[in-house]
């Protein structure tokens, strides 16, 4: 295993990381690489959980911050190996989020004397079901590793700050009927026909727009799947509508569930997943000082990200990383070279700027 | 190949036929058996097309009738070999329609001097897509073999006469939208939501009840499948509703198509199949005299059967056979022994009853 050269520039390092395939579930090689590269550095203590790697400074500062990113990517789509074209770096994960990982690795390797203690978290399986997520495992097994006054998740956010995130609820609404041969359809009850009011209610719903800390979180309520059908000559006895509800972080998971159940009181509603969102926390000192240092205007994060896991642990968190978030998971994803450099530079400045007083309660 | 004993009683013969597996596409063995058994009989001329067998008398009578049935069955469902229990014979195809085939074979073998000429048709692939249907092949390649004053299809009809049949139209109605990530769903258009009015229109539709020759053909219009869904976090851009329309035989195929298109003028309607029904033809002399001879009160046939193929060739046809049609394709299908004997007896009487004059135009 050749370790990447962490003294090389961030663009070179991003290309090297893109060229290590790391589809979810197959992160052993990239985790080995990261562990080996950081393990040689005297100012860091490195631990490994599965294919997640945690590296910490232990300088005794009263404040600690987390810088985190996931090592995995969605499956390749003909977009390996990496290429560059002008001021863009193309390739699987360039945007989501090998660029952010490269920035974090550069900081871990080169900021040997930060003004705060720093915990770098490189984790596995973010792109798949939540119970495989490496950050979930760390939060469960070693929550102490995630305690900090603030966490920065290096998810692509166009080198701006995306604060908080929506919650996500999925539910199956099942409408029932009674089978019959279509030649004698009056002997049955068509479940697909009975599903019309469910779809119409979804169509008629006006999603809320919730403003929190000056940021607008626009909700969304959608049927993402409709399934009915037994055979070509059978009146279907079941129609299942899968609903996706993106809800503002001001609603709790329980409130989101109640909202959906109240919207469809007469139907069989099975909540299959619900994960709360995260409040932007812009009123918290740790967040405002970071936003000020980065010199950006926060935007609301609409998709769900792991900032919600930090929020669940009581650690304010925000997304800040290179790359356009709408390019994530696209075959043509890329990261602008300038954003790689800008993110590295601004975070380096922030990590090394002298602190006059703890901005938050000290962590043990 | 041991030929079944056509001089044995109809119950024994039905059991022997049930015990020859003949799932659609796999009729070679049963067709060989039928061809061999009939080929030895001096009063019949036997021809084979694929795995369909046609046997004809050539007595020079001015009138000819067709007695027809399909040799294939749906796939087995743990219902082989045949068994008897009291007055019922159980097993794959006992009802649909080895019982009717046994009656026809008995008549072919033993009615050596009918009062009309008779064409017996034993055909393949009725239970699958129409272009594999053996009767379709004969109608296309040798329509002369199907010319008659009347055709009796030995489909299960509880030893009663089921006259005419409904037509069948299937169509896909496609509702379109625009994809978007559900976290930003307002950037898309949800095709599943837009499908609500289609399903509601189907739910609100009142099917016609059309009375023809005193028989009521009740129509049916149903969504038999609804399909939408790209991924759990994507607003679907397409929803396809498959519609099944069973229409009275008074509507032509063209009229049925126009009806569906007019019901959904603003949608993309793709007619995937349309087969016309068959008028009961109870006003025709050949039909009324048969009904009189059988001593039954005709009922409307609701499902589509091959009587429509004969109707399309200008030959009046009706369903008359042993077995409850609603048991067809069920694992527990059976045929009542009494109906086997009754159908054989009544048809034997009708075939041998002296004709005083041609009841229809003589066939060449």
Largest CA distance in chain A: 82
Contacts of A31 (CB under 8 A, 6+ apart): A48, A51, A52, A53, A71, A122, A124
Sorting pLDDT into bands at 50, 70 and 90, what band is A229? Answer: very high
Percentage with pLDDT > 90 across chain B: 84
CA distance B239 to B237: 7
Task: Choose from A172, A199, A219, A234 for mutation: most chain B CBs within 10 A.
Answer: A199
Give the pLDDT score at A312.
87
Catalytic residue positions of A? 72, 126
Is the Cβ–Cβ distance between B68 and B154 less than 8 Å? yes
Hey, is the C-beta of A203 within 8 angstroms of any chain B C-beta?
yes
Q: How would you classify the pairing of strands A150-153 and A317-320?
A: parallel
More confident of the two residues B361 and A152: A152
Best residue in A155, A177, A187, A226 for a mutation probing chain B (most B CBs within 10 Å): A226
**Active site residue ranges of B:** 72, 126
Q: What is the pLDDT of residues B179-209, one digit of tens each?
A: 988 999 999 999 999 999 999 999 999 999 9
Pairing status of strand B45-49 against strand A180-181: unpaired
SS3 for A289?
helix
Does A225 lie at the interface with B, CB-CB under 8 angstroms?
A: yes
pLDDT of residue B2: 62
pLDDT band for A362, please (50, 70, 90 cuts).
very low
pLDDT computed for residue A72 by the predictor: 97
Size of interface A-B (CB pairs under 8 A): 157
* Model pLDDT for residues A45-86, shown as the tens digit of each residue: 999 999 999 999 999 999 999 999 999 999 998 999 999 999
Cβ of A202 and B218 within 8 Å?
no
Q: Which residue of A has its CA nearest to B246?
A: A183
Would you state the CATH architecture of domain A167-275? 2-Layer Sandwich (3.30)
Q: Is B246 on the interface with A (CB under 8 A)?
A: yes
- Chain B residues whose CB is inside 8 A of the A192 CB are 199, 202, 222-226, 241
A220 and chain B: CB distance < 8 Å anywhere? yes
Instruction: Among A184, A226, A246, select the one facing B229 at the smallest CB separation.
Output: A226
Residue of A nearest to B231 (CA): A224
The alpha carbon of residue B108 is apart from the nearest alpha carbon of chain A, in Å, by: 32
Q: How far apart are CA B290 and CA B309, in angstroms?
A: 19
Residue of A nearest to B167 (CA): A183
Cβ of residue A304 closer than 8 Å to a chain B Cβ: yes
Work out the mean pLDDT of chain A and round it to a whole number. 94
The pTM is what?
A: 0.82
Please check whether residue A207 touches B, CB under 8 A.
yes
Q: What average pLDDT does the segment A148-169 reach?
A: 95
Chain B residues whose beta carbon lies within 8 Å of the beta carbon of residue A241: 192
Cβ-nearest to A225 among B185, B196, B229: B229
* CATH 1.10.600.10 is the classification of domain A10-164+279-352: no
DSSP E strands: which ranges in B25-99?
A: 45-49, 52-56, 64-70, 83-85, 88-90
The reported pLDDT for the residue numbered A357 is 58
Residue B357: pLDDT band (50, 70, 90) is: low
B229 part of contact set with chain A, CB < 8 Å = yes
pLDDT > 70 in chain A, percent: 97
Q: Which residue of A has its CA nearest to B237?
A: A224
Is the CB of A263 inside 8 Å of chain B's CB atoms? no
CB contact under 8 A, B225 and A193: no
Say whether pLDDT at A130 is over 70: yes
Please judge whether B186 and A246 are an interchain contact, meaning their C-beta atoms are less than 8 angstroms apart: no
Q: How far apart are CA B336 and CA B351, in angstroms?
A: 23
Quick one: pLDDT band at residue A364, thresholds 50, 70, 90? very low
Task: State whether A224 and B233 contact (CB < 8 Å).
Answer: yes
Do residues B136 and B309 touch, judged by C-beta distance below 8 A? yes
pLDDT of residue B7: 87
Domain ranges in chain A? Answer: 10-164+279-352, 167-275
User: How far is it, in rounded angstroms, from Cα B78 to Cα B333?
Assistant: 11
Look at B224 and A202 and tell me if their CB atoms are within 8 Å: no
Pair type for strands B299-300 and B161-163? parallel
Contact of B236 with chain A, judged by CB distance below 8 Å, is answered with yes
pLDDT tens per residue, range A307-355: 999 988 889 999 999 999 989 988 899 999 999 999 999 999 999 999 8
Task: Report d(CA B3, CA B53) in Å as an integer.
Answer: 15
Answer whether B275 touches A (CB < 8 Å): no
- Report the C-alpha gap between B247 and B279 in whole angstroms: 11
- Range 165-184 of A in CB contact (< 8 A) with B: 166, 170, 181-184
| pLDDT value at residue B71 | 98
Q: A246 and B193 in contact by Cβ < 8 A?
A: no
Task: Work out the mean pLDDT of chain B and round it to a whole number.
Answer: 94
Q: Is the ipTM of this complex over 0.95?
A: no
Closest by CA position to A144, among listed A338, A323, A364:
A364
The Cα of A297 is separated from the nearest Cα of chain B by a number of Å equal to 20
A254, with CB counted inside 10 A (0-12, 13-18, 19+), is exposed
Residue A220 and residue B184: Cβ atoms within 8 Å?
yes
* pLDDT for residue A4: 79
Model pLDDT, residue B1? 47
**Taking CB atoms and an 8 Å limit, are A220 and B182 in contact across chains?**
yes
The answer, for B130 touching chain A at a CB cutoff of 8 Å, is: no
The residue with tokens 């028989």 is B215
CA distance A137 to A125: 10
């Amino acid at each position: 295993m050749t370790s990447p050269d962490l003294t090389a520039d961030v663009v070179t390092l991003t290309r090297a990381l893109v060229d290590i395939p790391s589809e979810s579930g197959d992160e052993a090689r990239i985790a080995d690489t990261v562990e080996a590269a950081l393990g040689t550095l005297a100012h860091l203590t490195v631990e490994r959980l599965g294919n997640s790697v945690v590296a910490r400074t232990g300088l005794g500062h009263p404040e600690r911050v987390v810088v985190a990113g996931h090592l995995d990517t969605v499956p390749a789509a003909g977009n390996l190996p990496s290429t560059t074209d002008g001021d863009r770096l193309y390739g699987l994960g360039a945007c989501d989020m090998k660029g952010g990982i490269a920035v974090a690795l550069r900081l871990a390797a080169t900021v040997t004397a930060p003004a705060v203690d720093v915990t770098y978290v490189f984790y596995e399986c973010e792109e798949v079901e939540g119970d495989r997520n490496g950050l979930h495992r760390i939060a469960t097994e070693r929550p102490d590793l995630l305690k900090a006054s603030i966490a920065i998740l290096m998810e692509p956010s166009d080198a701006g700050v995306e604060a908080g995130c929506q919650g996500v609820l999925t539910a199956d609404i099942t409408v029932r009927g009674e089978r019959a041969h279509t030649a004698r359809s009056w002997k049955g009850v068509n479940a697909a026909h009975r599903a019309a009011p469910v779809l119409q209610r979804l169509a008629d719903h006006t999603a809320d727009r919730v403003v929190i800390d000056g940021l607008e979180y626009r909700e969304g309520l959608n049927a993402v799947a409709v399934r009915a059908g037994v055979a070509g000559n059978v009146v279907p006895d079941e129609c299942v509508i899968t609903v996706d509800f993106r809800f503002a972080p001001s609603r709790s998971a329980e409130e989101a569930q109640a909202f959906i159940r109240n919207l469809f009181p007469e139907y069989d509603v099975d909540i299959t997943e619900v994960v709360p969102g995260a409040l932007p926390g812009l009123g918290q000192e740790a967040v405002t000082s970071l936003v000020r240092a980065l010199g950006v205007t926060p935007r609301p994060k609409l998709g769900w990200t792991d900032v919600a896991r930090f929020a669940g642990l009581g650690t304010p968190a925000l997304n800040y990383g290179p790359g356009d978030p709408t390019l994530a998971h696209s075959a043509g994803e890329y990261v602008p070279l300038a954003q790689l450099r800008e993110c590295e530079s601004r975070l380096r400045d922030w990590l090394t700027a002298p602190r006059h007083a703890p901005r938050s309660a000290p962590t043990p």
